[in-house]
Amino acid sequence: MVWNEDDSVLTRMVRRAGLSGVPPRVLLLVAVACVAVVVVAALRWWPATDAAGAGFSIDEEIAVDPAEPEGASNGGESTVTEEPGETAPVVVHVAGAVMRPGLVSLPGGSRCGDAVDAVGGLTGNAAASSVNLARVLVDGEQIYVPTLDEVASGTYPGGPAGGVASGVGGAPTGSAGPAGAPGALVDLNTATAQELEALPGIGPSTAAKIIADRESNGAFRSVEDIQRVSGIGPKKYESLKELIVVR
């Protein structure tokens, strides 16, 4: 079968394309195949419309911002981890056999060894074994590092006879006697600022508060009364009660 020259416009178009010798059935199959390709291409790449009416390609990947908290993309609540707040700094008085005795301010949670390092470290004749460098510092305390000679003679604050230097983490022992005597208990009503500062956890500021309190409010009637001084709570009192006396 060949194309009739009197046929329709389609026949004339086929003839002009030089396909007049091709059977119509073959041309029909080619046309159907072309239409199928167009339909598949339209379904494959034509922009789709989401529920909100915004167009997007079905192959388009949804980008997720790496900085976005996990769970935020699907409406979940993000979890934010808060860093714990820093502990308040502590001020301590480092004295004795250290390079540069004086006051130092350190972050809360620092240890006795940190305070010693902050003043340049120990001197050559320091009795390092008499001080607990691992002890956690308390604000307002004094750390006294004795020399080897002081340890031998017991003439350092807190010694001798089982006594320890401030900063060792223990408490000196001894019987009541004149204030300032080796191993003596400190009388809250008569002790000088220097004698009070020899107590563990008592620095110049706290010693001044103790003296000001007894001058303003009268003599202490019991060792427990020291807790009425600002800055001395139950915990600090426990470390002091075996070292003080009231007469």
Q: 144-158: per-residue pLDDT in tens?
A: 888 888 877 767 665
> Above 70 in pLDDT, residue 14?
no
Note whether residue 156 is domain-resident: yes
**Does residue 12 sit in the same domain as residue 96?**
no
Distances (CA, A) of 48 to 51, 53, 61: 10, 9, 14
Number of domains in the chain: 2
Half-sphere exposure of 92 (CA within 13 A, CB side): 33
pLDDT higher than threshold 80 for residue 177:
no
pLDDT at position 18? 66
Asked if the structure places residue 106 within a domain, the reply is yes
Q: Note whether residue 77 is domain-resident.
A: no
Mean pLDDT of the region 54-70: 49
Same domain, 137 and 37: no
The answer to the question of residue 32 being in a domain is yes
Residue pLDDT, tens place only, 33-47? 888 888 887 777 766
Is residue 133 domain-resident? yes
CATH of the domain at 105: 1.10.150.320
My answer on whether 106 and 38 are in the same domain is no
In a domain, 6, yes or no: yes
**Residue 150: domain span:** 90-245
Residues 6+ apart with CB under 8 A from 11: 3, 4, 5
Average pLDDT over residues 77-106: 76
Higher pLDDT, 151 or 135: 135
Handedness of CA 111, 112, 118, 121 (dihedral sign): negative
Residues 39 and 100 in one domain: no
**Whether residue 149 is found in the same domain as residue 214:** yes
What would the mean pLDDT of 218-238 be, rounded to a whole number? 91
In a domain, 83, yes or no: no
Q: Quick one: 227 and 128 in the same domain? A: yes
Residue 64 CA, chain-centre distance (Å), reads: 30
Angle at 182 between CA 177 and CA 188, to 5 degrees: 50
